[in-house]
A and B are shown apart, each in its own frame.
Chain A
Amino acid sequence: MGRPLIHRSPMPGLGLSMGVTLTMLSLVVLLPIGALLWKGASFGLCNIWDTVNRERVWAALFLSFRLSFFAALFNLVFGVMLAWVLVRYRFPGRRILDAAVDLPFALPTAVAGIALTALYAPNGVFGSLAKELGWKIAYSQWGIFIALVFVGLPFVTRTVQPVIEEIEREVEEASATLGATRLYTLRRVILPMLAPAAMTGFALSLARAVGEYGSVIFIAGNIPLVTEIAPLLIVIQLEEFNYDAAASIGIAMLLISFALLLVINLIQVWSRRRIGYV
């Protein structure tokens, strides 16, 4: 006897809740994604490869991934530090700082995009400062980097914060009684405990940045091969009604997302197996 598919339960509403859940999930998410995969399948693997295997597409995919990686890396370091400050220290303005971390979640990406452009364009507040130093931010890869840092900012902080809250004081005290300096405790005890959550946040931030569109296109300048991101290529193909090409690039990006999702899940499984918590 195998495990039953659904265990019997006295709870009411099985049919209704299951029906609503599966119907809506299929209609809104699964069928549209299926349509993309179907389009890809009918276009053929060889044709997809030929579409993706062009200099402009590779350049865009590589650019999106590389800048997203660096932005997520920045957010990893800054996010862990921010989480530490917000959980461990008490200072005036802490609540405001804590709320501000979520602004990139709440602020529409198009709004963020034009605001960042206004700041970093050559005539903007930060842009003119940078221009003095001979440094161009908006309409260069630096601009994309800053936009991606903005949209990915909350992920690491929000995944790491609850873990810091749960670190027992005694573990840090134990390290000190064994003769470790504060810095050594931080490096060998605290950071390794935060590592699984921080890596999850890093991967989430990376996944978000790779797919980001709204906040980037205003500040990027969108020059093919130089500052053109992968999602923009899809939009361009769609505007030319080139659905096969759009679907091909879309499938490539979907695969990257799935790979990242898999990595996140593996980190959590590994962390739970080894140390009994996520």
Chain B
Amino acid sequence: MSDIAPIRFRSATEETPLARWALIGIAFAGLAVLVFAPLIAVFAEALVQGAWAAVKSLGNRDALSAIKLTLIITAIAVPLNAAFGIAAAWFITKFDFRGKAFLITLIDLPFSVSPVVAGLCIVLMFGSNSLLGGWLVAQGYHIVFALPGIVLATMFVTFPFVARELIPVMIEQGRAEEEAALTLGASGWRTFWTVTIPNIRWALLYGVLLCNARAMGEFGAVAVVSGKIRGQTATMPITIEMLYNEYLSVAAFSMAAVLALLALVTLLLKTLLEIRHADQLSAQRRH
């Protein structure tokens, strides 16, 4: 009789459908509570008195000044870090030297240092009671509690982003194409612009995207060095804190919503890059 039993199809390397759907369910539920709920909360709290109240709260002078300051900081810090990332990736992947692993560890260092400690470091180096800081203040240059300090703090916490994206991609691509260009008589810069940059542009964009998102949103390091002077050194995240502590909930969440939108755009672009240009991103990003 067993001869007419239907043939089963479940493969040896799959979980039972029950286990599979249970795991998928837990994944959805977990992310719904941990990630989606806070995201929705930002917009819900911003719109609690209607869209007009939210927009109006962004229109006052202090809010506009915070947005402007954040844009200025990002416009300085991100290109500088991108330039560093390209230089570091070139140095690390195109040359062989002793201490390479150590150098990479040093570049990654800011990821494992608390942002508050990062800010503290900058205060101790450039603060008016330090040797260097005291001298600079005497010359009329203010670093801490001023724009340069905030830029430095932002650069510190976002320092590794671009280099980390570029190094694995450039290792995978090897040196052959650049060597070919050189044997064909191209100059160093020409090789860089016509061979290297086209190969790494999507990975570069990916790194810049992550760097930018973190730079606009950095809080801990900036909180320490900014001095939180309204209208002068208060960035968007700092302004969110000040408004929140003054119980101006709608204003705080409206500004938070602007940053949340930016985060969503970042994720969207990042996902598009992963789908469209997977072959030109590091292996970690292809999924």
Contacts and interface: CB of A to CB of B under 8 A. Distances in A.
Q: Do chains A and B touch in the complex (CB under 8 A)?
A: yes
A235 B223 contact: yes
Given A12-B188, A100-B36, A110-B256, A243 B219 contact: no
Contacts of B108: 261
Contacts of A99: 267-268, 270-271
Contacts of A31: 125
A12 B284 CA distance: 29
A20 B286 CA distance: 30
Contact of A36 (B35, B109, B117, B236): B117
Contacts of B216: 108
B171 interface: no
* Interface residue range, chain A: 35 or more
A32 B220 contact: no
Given A28-B156, A89-B20, A115 B256 contact: yes
Contacts of A254: 113, 117
Nearest to A190: B13
18 contacts: A9-B96, A12-B188, A18-B95, A20-B87, A28-B159, A32-B122, A82-B30, A87-B287, A89-B20, A97-B31, A109-B217, A110-B238, A114-B256, A153-B35, A211-B116, A212-B220, A214-B223, A260-B112
Interface of B: 12-16, 20, 23-24, 26-28, 30-31, 33-39, 41-42, 45, 80, 83-84, 87-88, 90-92, 94-98, 103, 105-118, 120-125, 127, 129-130, 152, 155-156, 159, 175, 178-179, 182, 187-189, 191-192, 210, 213-214, 216-220, 223-224, 236-238, 240-241, 244, 252-253, 256, 259-260, 263-264, 266-268, 270-271, 283-284, 286-287
Given A13-B188, A35-B125, A85-B24, A5 B105 contact: no
Contacts of B156: 28-29, 32
Contacts of B127: 243
B97 A5 contact: yes
B28 A36 contact: no
A9 B266 contact: no
A253 B114 contact: yes
Given A150-B38, A172-B12, A176-B13, A85 B117 contact: no
A73 interface: no
B120 A247 contact: yes
A32 B125 contact: yes
Contacts of B14: 182
Contacts of A176: 12-13
Contact of B112 (A32, A150, A207): A207
B87 A16 contact: yes
Given A30-B106, A119-B38, A109 B28 contact: no
Given A13-B192, A21-B87, A112-B38, A32 B124 contact: yes
**Max count, chain B CB within 10 A of own CB: residue among A107, A208, A218, A232:** A107
